[in-house]
């Protein structure tokens, strides 16, 4: 009986410590705030509106939007983005034209209008906010990788 009690106590201690460890691991985005507590939220950072193109982190990255896009309607009726970035609008707006790939359907044929599968701009293109990243990014650009490798040789 006594042995059983000790075993039980050890088991309870063991499970409770693992539970705490697991809790700590999960709670990183909440900054280790207890589940019944709420952290004071940070102020919402502003959208970058400088109109200056950022370099892409990798060749296939959809370019980010360097301006605010509050209340831009992209729906069945309209596409506000295209009122500047469409092929026939860029002369007046001087905005970059949507890439030709956006006119291709899935069989690789070019259409006269934006392909429906590329219509919803903000599925890929997003605005950026002036803020520190929440998690550290260890991504290394391919070019720096090649450069590093070449310098080693």
Partner 1 sequence: MKRFIQIGWKTLRRPSGYFSLGFLVIGGFVAGVIFWGGFNTALEITNTEEFCISCHEMENNVYEELKATIHFSNRSGVRATCPDCHVPHKWSDKIARKMQASKEVWGMIFGTIDTRDKFVAERRRLAQHEWTRLKSNDSLECRNCHNFEYMDFTEQSERAAVQHSTTLASGEKTCIDCHKGIAHELPDMKGVEGW
- Which residues would be at the binding site for partner 1 (CB under 8 A)? 49-51, 67, 70-71, 73, 76-78, 80, 82-83, 89
Contact 88, 82 (CB under 8 A): no
Which one, 89 or 118, has the nearer CB to partner 1? 89
Which one, 82 or 102, has the nearer CB to partner 1? 82
Closest separation in Å from C-beta 82 to partner 1: 8
Q: The tokens of 52 are what?
A: 């200056």
Distance CA 31, CA 25 (A): 10
Q: Name the DSSP letter for residue 133.
A: -
Closest separation in Å from C-beta 95 to partner 1: 9
Closest separation in Å from C-beta 52 to partner 1: 9
Contact 104, 111 (CB under 8 A): yes
Which one, 49 or 127, has the nearer CB to partner 1? 49
84-91 long-range contacts (CB < 8 A, ≥24 apart) are: 86/114
Closest separation in Å from C-beta 122 to partner 1: 16
């Amino acid at each position: 009986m006594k042995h059983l009690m000790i075993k039980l106590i050890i088991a309870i201690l063991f499970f409770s410590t693992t539970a705490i460890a697991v809790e700590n691991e999960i709670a990183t985005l909440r900054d280790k705030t207890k589940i019944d507590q709420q952290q004071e939220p940070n102020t919402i950072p502003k959208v970058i509106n400088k109109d200056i193109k950022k370099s892409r982190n990798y060749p296939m990255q959809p370019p980010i939007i360097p301006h605010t896009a509050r209340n831009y309607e992209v729906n069945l009726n309209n596409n506000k983005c295209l009122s500047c970035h469409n092929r026939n609008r860029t002369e007046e707006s001087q905005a970059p034209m949507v890439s030709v790939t956006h006119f291709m359907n899935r069989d690789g044929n070019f259409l006269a209008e934006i392909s429906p599968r590329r219509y919803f701009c903000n599925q890929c293109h997003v605005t950026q906010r002036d803020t520190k990243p929440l998690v550290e990014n260890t991504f290394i650009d391919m070019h720096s990788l090649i450069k590093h490798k070449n310098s080693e040789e």
